[in-house]
Structure 1
Amino acid sequence: MFTTRPTLQGTFGMVSSTHWLASQSAMAVLEDGGNAYDAAVAAGFVLHVVEPHLNGPAGDLPVILAPAGGDVRVLCGQGPAPGGATIEHYRSLGLELVPGTGPLAAAVPGAFDAWMLLLRDHGTKSLAQVLRYAIGYAEDGHAPVERVGQTVESVRALFETEWTSSADVYLPGGRAPAPGELFRNPALAATWRRLTAEAEATGGDDRVAQIEAARDIWRTGFIAEALIRQSDRPTLDTSGSRHTGTLTAADLAGWSATYETPATYEWNGWTLCKAAGWSQGPVLLQQLALLPPVPELPAYGSEEYVHLLTEGCKLAMADREAWYGDAAGVPLAALLSEPYNTARRALVGEKASYELRPGSPDGRAPVLGAHAT
Structure 2
Amino acid sequence: MSVFTTRPEIQGTFGVVTSTHWIASAVGMKILEAGGNAFDAAAATGFVLQVVEPHLNGPGGDLPVILYEAEQDRIQVICGQGPAPAGATLEHYRGEGIDLIPGNGLLATVIPGAFDGWMVMLRDRGRLPLRDVLEPAIYYARAGHPLLPRVSATIAGLAEFFETEWPTSHATWLPGGSAPAANTLFANPGLADTWERLLREAESVSGREAQIEKARDVFYRGFIAEAIGDFFARSEVMDGSGARHKGVLTADDLAGWRAGVEDPLTHDYGAWTLAKTGPWGQGPVLLQALSLLEGTQIGDVDPGGADFVHLVAEAMKLAYADREVYYGDPDFCEVPLAHLLSDAYAAERRKLIGARASFDLRPGIVPGYEGQAHKTMVAIEALGISEGGVYEPTMAHLSEKRGDTVHVDVIDRWGNMVSATPSGGWLQSSPVVPELGFALNSRAQMFLMTPGLPTSLAPGKRPRTTLTPSLALKDGRATLAFGTPGGDQQDQWQLSLFLRLAHHDMSLQQAIDMPLFHTTHFPASFHPRQRQPGHIMVEENFGADVIGDLRARGHSVEVAPPWSIGRLTAAKREPDGLLKAAATPRLMQAYAIGR
What is the TM-score normalised by the length of structure 1?
0.96
Letter of the 2:226 counterpart: E
Residue range with higher mean Cα deviation, 56-65 or 167-176: 167-176
Structure 1 residues 202-221: aligned runs within 5 Å: 203-204=205-206, 206-221=207-222
- Match of 1:16, SS state, is strand
| Structure-2 residue corresponding to 1:223 | 224
- The CA distance in 1 between the partners of 2:356 and 2:13, in whole Å, is 48
User: Equivalent of 2:150, from 147, 152, 156?
Assistant: 147
Q: Check whether the contact 1:340–1:361 (CA below 8 A) recurs between aligned residues.
A: no
Secondary structure class of the residue paired with 2:134: helix
- 1:303 CA drift (Å): 2.9
TM-score normalised to structure 2 length: 0.61
Q: CA deviation at 1:133?
A: 0.2
Report matched runs for 1:95-174 at 5 Å. 95-174=98-177
Q: State the 1:344 CA deviation.
A: 1.0
8 Å CA contact 2:298–2:311 kept in 1: the answer is no
C-alpha distance in structure 2 between counterparts of 1:213 and 1:199, whole Å:
5
Say what the alpha-carbon RMSD is for the aligned residues.
1.5
Residue of structure 2 in register with 1:39 after alignment:
41
Q: Mean Cα displacement is larger for which, 37-46 or 288-297?
A: 288-297
When residues 292 and 24 of structure 1 are mapped into structure 2, their CA distance, relative to the original with a 3 A threshold, is closer
Q: Does 1:332 align with 2:337?
A: yes
1:263 equivalent in alignment to 2:265 = yes
Cα distance per residue 1:229-250 (max 9 Å; x no partner): 2222111111222111111222
Structure 1 residue 297: Cα displacement: 5.0
Tell me how far 1:195 sits from its aligned partner: 0.5
Name 1:243's counterpart in structure 2: 245
Q: Percent identity?
A: 54
Match of residue 360 from structure 1: 365
Supply the distance in 2 between the matched residues of 1:41 and 1:76 (Cα, whole angstroms).
Answer: 14
Following TM superposition, by how much is the alpha carbon of 1:162 offset from its aligned partner in structure 2, in angstroms?
2.8
User: Bigger shift: 336-345 or 40-49?
Assistant: 336-345
Q: Give the deviation of 1:261 after TM superposition.
A: 0.9
| 2:298–2:308 Cα contact (<8 Å) kept | no
SS at 2:103's partner residue? coil
Letter of the structure 2 residue corresponding to residue 16 of structure 1: T
Letter in structure 2 aligned against 1:364 = Y
Which residue number in structure 2 is paired with residue 22 of structure 1?
24
Matched residue SS, 1:166: helix
Classify the secondary structure of the residue corresponding to 1:72. strand
Match of 2:312 in 1: 309
Q: Which structure 1 residue ranges, 5 or more long, are not aligned?
A: none
Query: CA 1:295 to 1:305, structure 2 compared with 1: closer, same or farther past 3 Å?
Result: closer
Aligned residues: 371
AA partner of residue 268 (structure 1): G
Gaps of 5+ in 2: 384-522, 524-530, 532-595
Q: Find the counterpart in structure 2 of residue 12 from structure 1.
A: 14
Which has the larger displacement, 362-371 or 180-189? 362-371
Structure with more of its chain in strand, by fraction: 2
Select 2:179's aligned residue among 168, 176, 180: 176
Asked if 1:78 is matched to 2:81, the reply is yes
User: How far apart are the structure 2 equivalents of 1:296 and 1:99?
Assistant: 39
CA contact (8 A) 1:272 1:285 kept: yes
Task: Return the offset for 1:5.
Answer: 2.3
Q: In structure 2, what is the Cα distance between the partners aligned to 1:8 and 1:26?
A: 15
3-state DSSP of counterpart to 1:76: strand
User: Partner of 2:505 in structure 1?
Assistant: none
The structure with higher relative contact order (CA 8 Å, sep 6+) is 2
Taking a change above 3 Å as real, the CA distance of residues 114 and 296 of structure 1, as seen in their structure-2 partners, is closer
The Cα offsets for residues 297-330 of structure 1, whole Å up to 9 and x where unpaired, read as 5523343332111100111111112222212422
